[in-house]
């Protein structure tokens, strides 16, 4: 069975972030063929195109981590009905300089948790617009989690079977999506429509 490297972003800078708790649970419930590496964002300066000719080490490290990943997972809160500033800043760094977008053709997924009932749905909608512009294929299953502190233990394990079952299924489907996207993007791959055309 193939192994896929998944780089993941936690959209909150808070040490006690509930989305960091969610990220731990997600990783533990993911299929064994996914290997996770966090892509840190807290030390990035604010992006400016003044850096484009000479990226700082933090920007280069971020782009290298994205490019080394087979897929990208965003685990993020919603701030003021949108993407947290630190996460949007990291995405801007990863997409530049012009013509060197590190997110292009990377399979992506978005999941998030909030104490509120809509569980980061508006942030995720905004994120999908950004990822579409960046030519990053998106896993379309919705991952809106209403946070319940009693559903996680001190190690980040999800102890609520309903939530755990959802996360397990979500990540299993994401693994299959990553594989499909990578196969479709492989050099020399011919899609079904192209095969049909080639036979005529």
Query: In which element (H, E) is residue 93 found?
Result: helix 85-95
Q: Whole-number mean pLDDT of the chain?
A: 93
Q: Where in the chain are the domains?
A: 4-184
Distance, in Å, from the CA atom of 200 to the CA atom of 198, rounded to the nearest integer, reads 6
Rounded CA separation 187/88 (Å): 31
- The tokens describing 185, both together, are 């993007």
Rounded-to-integer distance, Cα 156 and Cα 28, Å: 9
* Model pLDDT, residue 118: 85
Q: What is the pTM of this model?
A: 0.92
- Residue (of 96, 61, 49, 70) closest to 180 by Cα position: 70
Question: Which three-class secondary structure string do you get for 119-165?
Answer: CCHHHHHHHHHHHHHCCCCECCCCCEEECCHHHECCCCCECCHHHHH
Q: What is the pLDDT of residues 52-87, one digit of tens each?
A: 999 999 999 999 999 999 999 999 999 999 999 999
Residues 9, 27: Cα–Cα separation, whole Å: 12
Specify the pLDDT at position 187. Answer: 80
pLDDT for the residue 189: 56
Q: Give the integer Cα–Cα distance in Å for 21 and 12.
A: 11
pLDDT of residue 186: 85
Quick check: bond before 97 cis, omega within 30?
Answer: yes
How many Cα atoms occupy the beta-carbon half-sphere of 98 within 13 Å? 3
d(CA 137, CA 107): 5
For residue 149, which of 107, 115, 177 has the smallest C-alpha distance?
A: 115
CATH for 4-184 (3.40.50.1100, 3.10.129.10, 2.60.34.30, 3.40.50.360): 3.40.50.360
**For residue 19, what pLDDT is reported?**
97
What does DSSP assign to residue 79? B
113 vs 146: CA distance, rounded Å: 6
pLDDT of residue 162: 96
Q: Can you list the residues of the chain whose pLDDT is less than 70?
A: 189-200
Instruction: Record the tokens describing residue 57, joined without a space.
Output: 């080490």
Per the DSSP assignment, residues forming a β-bridge with 6 are 36, 71
Whether 123 contacts 113, CB under 8 Å: no
């Amino acid at each position: 069975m193939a192994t896929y490297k998944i780089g993941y972003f936690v959209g909150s800078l808070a040490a006690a972030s509930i989305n960091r708790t969610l990220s731990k649970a997600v990783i533990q419930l993911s299929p064994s063929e996914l290997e996770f590496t966090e892509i840190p964002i807290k030390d990035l300066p604010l992006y400016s195109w003044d850096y484009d000719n000479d990226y700082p080490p933090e920007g280069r490290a971020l782009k290298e981590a994205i490019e080394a990943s087979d897929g990208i997972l965003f685990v993020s809160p919603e701030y003021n009905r949108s993407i947290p500033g630190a996460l949007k800043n990291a995405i801007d760094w990863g997409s530049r300089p012009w013509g060197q977008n590190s997110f292009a053709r990377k399979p992506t997924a978005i999941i998030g948790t909030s104490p509120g009932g809509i569980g980061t749905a508006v942030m995720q909608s905004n994120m999908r617009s950004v990822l579409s512009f960046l030519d990053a294929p998106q896993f379309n299953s919705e991952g809106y989690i209403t946070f319940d502190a009693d559903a996680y233990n001190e190690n980040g394990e999800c102890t609520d079977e309903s939530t755990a079952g959802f996360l397990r299924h979500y990540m299993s489907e994401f693994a299959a999506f990553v594989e499909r996207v990578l196969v479709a993007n492989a050099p020399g791959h011919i899609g079904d429509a192209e095969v049909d055309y080639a036979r005529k």
